Structure 1
Amino acid sequence: MSDVALASHTASAGASGTAAGATAPETPSFQPLYQQIKGLLTQRLESGEWRPGEAIPSEQDLAAQFSVSQGTVRKAIDELAGENIVVRRQGKGTFVATHTETKSSMFRFLRMRRNDGQDEYPASDLLDVRRGRATAEIARAIDIKPGDGVLVLRRLLRYGGEPTVLDEITLPAALFKGLTKERFDAYEGSMYGFFETEFGVRMLRAEEQVKAVAADPVTAEALRVGIGAPLLCVERIAYTYGDKPVEFRRGLCTTRSHHYANTLS
């Protein structure tokens, strides 16, 4: 039987959870078959069947599970790898990507660069963690209801010992139960690594917008600049599986020795 003929069979197998291990019902789709396989693999990743850093089954095994060709599975995995959801390791297999493993993953969400072009990982100082209620703006950004519980983290990033970025990070409280300053301070690693390891929330992509603002008194003191000094304001919404927004971040950045860098491809 051909891959095309098996498209409906594969989707229904994923819905039953027998062959694909999917947890949510599926309906027949007119997507290309490899896109259906990609969707079923994403469901299994989201359910935690394969944890960050773990190997997923080989293309041959997955092809047998889904009753499709290895080429179809390979194309699905190629797209997942292109989206930094999985990582191929030559001679070892394919692994669930993690924010804790490589230098490139560290800098994927860090856009501030030294003016000499060198990558520099900043020191992070979590100033406080506060509980609050979502404003209408925050609720829209992270897809919750106004008044729902949120956690607000304030963090200072230092590059070369100099305060460079003051972050205010808002998270839905329901996804981050038990998050405290003490718990974060005890973790060794990046903030996104902390979210992934401690709460099972993996940031897969982000959208940002950048504008110029003037430093208010509180920010000026934190960043050691004058009141009214020009700053970059970088607002970010980060998304996890299913394109669900789970973080709203506003970073105020001084550019005395750093600049915002982005690569378009």
Structure 2
Amino acid sequence: MAELSELFLPDQAVVLPSGGPLYLQLKRWIEDAIASGTINPGDALPSERDLAQKVDVSRVTVRKAVLQLVKEGVLLQRHGSGTFVAPRTQRVEQSLSQLTSFTDDMARRGMQVRAEWLDRGLYQPSPEETVVLGLSSGERVARIARLRLTGDAPLAIERASLSAQILADPMEIGDSLYKHLDKSGNRPTRAIQRIRAENLNADDAKLLDVPVGSASLNIERTSYLPSGRVIEFTRSIYRGDTYDFVAELRLGDNPTPGGPKL
């Protein structure tokens, strides 16, 4: 079991940051200690009672601060073991202006990634898949679902749907769906993406190894061939503590008269 940091020893004074509710002061104090390296990943926190006594606050205050940090993925609670500083995860920047596969994108960053298959097979399409993919009556849909990891750390869940006419055998896919589609001349050339923030449900949180209710970035992508045909409909769930999505914005060539000035 991890030992307590020296920060929590009896002879170490505690000075909470000023401003805001007491539980937020305690939360910032713990965050600052982690950021400065005073508390390290894997270090244990004292019990709720001991921490309340050391900081001279109520147990309710400690509980609120700790639960907020657990929700944000900063701390981990293990039943029967206690509360620990969560491992640091490497943040990844992904451009929103380029259509790339996950494998290619990570390779350019020098990151070793792998996938664990959650599902791949042929199914009867849902009404949404029928409409988005433009499927004919009686046509089946190919679904593939993967958990993306770097080392043992999960990064994202990908769930993609394609016409069975395009992907007749999902078992043939290797490490990259786009590489497989490229072989048959069906690699998409453009896509529309919608991004929203959500809180993870129990099943997805377990896959991503974060607490239930943790923040995630969800991307819905509809990809097209040069002909305009929809080739892929994908829903991806990214860990909120791992990904930063970046987009370059430029002032238009013909700004609207009277519009905002930069």
SS of 2:123's partner is strand
Alignment-derived partner of residue 237 in structure 2: 252
Q: Does the 8 A contact of 2:121 with 2:169 survive in 1? A: no
Question: Which residue number corresponds to residue 133 of structure 2?
Answer: 142
Query: 2:179 is matched with which residue: 178, 187, 193?
Result: 193
Q: Give runs of aligned pairs for residues 203-242 of structure 1, distance below 5 A.
A: 203-242=188-227
1:243 alignment partner, SS class: coil
| 2:99–2:191 Cα contact (<8 Å) kept | no
Unmatched segments (≥5 aa) in structure 1: 1-103
Paired residues of 1:135 and 1:146 also in contact (CA < 8 A) = no
Matching of residue 122 in structure 1 with residue 113 in structure 2: yes
Q: For residue 260 of structure 1, report the CA deviation from its aligned partner.
A: 2.0
Question: What is the Cα-based RMSD across aligned positions, in Å?
Answer: 2.8
Percent identity of equivalent pairs: 21
Question: Which of 159, 172, 176 is equivalent to 2:163?
Answer: 172
Name the one with the larger helix percent: 1
What is the 5 A alignment of 1:84-95? none
Is contact 1:208-1:234 (8 Å) kept? yes
Q: Which runs of 5+ in 2 are unaligned?
A: 1-94, 251-262
Aligned residue for 1:44?
none
Q: Which has the higher contact order (CA 8 A, sep 6+)?
A: 2
Amino acid at match of 1:220: A
Q: Is the 8 A contact 1:158 1:165 kept in 2?
A: yes
Q: Which has the larger radius of gyration?
A: 2
How many residues are aligned here?
A: 151
DSSP-derived class of the 1:226 partner: coil
Change in Cα spacing, 1:196 to 1:245, as seen in structure 2 (3 Å) is same
Instruction: Supply the AA of the counterpart residue of 1:192.
Output: Y
Q: Deviations over 1:101-151 (max 9, x none)?
A: xxx9xx74258999xxx6746323333202212222112211224663101
**Distance of aligned partners of 1:154 and 1:140 in 2 relative to their CA distance in 1, 3 Å threshold:** same
Shift in alpha-carbon separation, 1:247–1:108, aligned structure 2, 3 A: closer
Normalised to the residue count of structure 1, the TM-score between the two structures is: 0.50
Pair 1:264–1:157, CA change in 2 (3 A): farther
Distance 2:243 2:179 in 1: 24
Letter in 1 for 2:154: P
**Contact kept? 2:148, 2:156, Cα under 8 Å:** yes
Separation in 1 of the partners of 2:232 and 2:112?
21
